[in-house]
């Protein structure tokens, strides 16, 4: 029986070899040729087969019971992220409120880009709030909790129940899943130039994360870089004056991780527990 089986297999491959042509790629399923490619560039000396990572569209939505804001969420690898910037706004201050020097603010400050008053309802009616969400100083993003470098961070912070503020390690996990920091930013950015400035390098949004360039409020009390930068807090302290962030530019596909001053107003993305 073994000889017969070996003869059958050998005969099958002999037939395939007799049929095969040089410079032709054959695609087979269950021993049957289902397709072939016979026109190849003459200067090709190798062929690399790549199986792309298939990442689903947003899988569901989530309603924050604190204010009834509804967020799309998306699974990327083993993580589930909000596919929008957080909009939780219990209070609001103008851009000049807060420290103008380096150091750690003990107050929790919430800003809306371009808004310079203290009326929450009025701030929520602005186009920038609707599109880009809220900018938080680091203490507001952390809700007064201690820093963390763990994965998961274990810090709920300003995020709703069942969600948490990610650490640098969690952003790194995201980047690694997408092929590394040099390309991850492009895969996270919303494609096109509706919100991002031209050229919005490398943007595909193939993840469904839809990173937007919400800019930031700097520690001098100025709103800066809407349309050119998206910057999100982490739970991880970088040094005595600031914490790590996740940063994407309109000019690059890189997901950067520089430190920013604690007193800056930055966006927040939450990860499901």
Per-residue model confidence as pLDDT tens digits over 95-152: 999 976 666 778 999 999 999 999 999 999 999 999 999 999 999 999 999 999 999 9
- Per residue in 246-269, pLDDT (tens digit) is 999 999 999 999 999 999 999 999
Q: Report residue 15's pLDDT band, with 50, 70 and 90 as the boundaries.
A: very low
Q: What is the pTM of this model?
A: 0.79
Write down the pLDDT at residue 103. Answer: 66
- Yes or no: say if 123 and 112 are a contact pair by the CB < 8 Å rule: yes
- For residues 151 and 171, what is the distance between their CA atoms, to the nearest angstrom? 9
Tokens of 214: 């919400």
Are residues 221 and 96 in contact, defined by beta-carbon separation less than 8 angstroms? yes
Tokens read off for 104:
């750690």
> Of the candidates 264, 190, 256, 183, which has an alpha carbon nearest to the alpha carbon of residue 227?
190
Give domain limits for the chain: 2-37, 60-272
Return the exposure string of 186-205: e unless at least 16 CB atoms fall within 10 Å of the residue's CB, then b: bbbbbeeeebbeeebebbeb
Q: Give burial (CB, 10 Å; 0-12/13-18/19+) of 145.
A: middle
Q: List residues bridging with 272 in a β-sheet.
A: 163
User: Which residues does residue 216 pair with via DSSP β-bridges, in sequence order?
Assistant: 224
N-term to C-term CA, the chain = 57
Q: From edge to edge, which strands make up the β-sheet containing 70-76?
A: 60-63, 70-76, 79-82, 271-272, 163-164
């Amino acid at each position: 029986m073994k000889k017969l089986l070996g003869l059958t297999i050998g005969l099958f491959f002999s037939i395939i070899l007799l049929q095969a042509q040089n410079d032709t790629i054959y695609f087979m399923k269950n021993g049957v040729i289902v397709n072939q490619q016979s026109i190849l560039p003459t200067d090709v000396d190798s062929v690399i087969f790549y199986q792309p990572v298939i990442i689903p569209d947003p899988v569901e939505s989530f309603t924050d019971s604190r204010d009834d804001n509804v967020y799309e969420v998306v699974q990327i690898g083993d993580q589930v992220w909000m596919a929008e910037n957080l909009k939780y706004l219990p209070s609001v201050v103008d851009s000049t409120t807060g420290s103008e020097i380096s150091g750690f603010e003990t107050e929790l400050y919430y800003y809306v880009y371009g808004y310079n008053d203290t009326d929450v309802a009025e701030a929520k009616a602005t186009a920038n709030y609707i599109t880009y969400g809220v900018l938080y100083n680091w203490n507001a993003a952390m809700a007064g909790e201690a820093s963390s470098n763990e994965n998961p961070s274990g810090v709920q912070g300003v995020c709703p129940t069942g969600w948490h503020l990610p650490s640098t390690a969690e952003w790194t996990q995201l980047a690694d899943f997408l092929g590394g920091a040099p390309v991850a930013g492009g895969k996270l950015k919303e494609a096109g130039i509706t919100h991002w400035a031209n050229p919005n390098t490398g943007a595909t949004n193939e993840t469904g994360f839809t990173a937007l360039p919400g800019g930031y409020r700097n520690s001098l009390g100025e709103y800066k870089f809407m349309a050119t930068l998206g910057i999100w807090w982490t739970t991880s302290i970088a040094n005595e004056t600031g914490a790590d962030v996740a940063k994407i530019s309109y000019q690059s596909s890189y997901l950067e991780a520089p430190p920013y001053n604690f007193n800056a107003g930055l966006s927040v993305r939450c990860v499901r527990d």
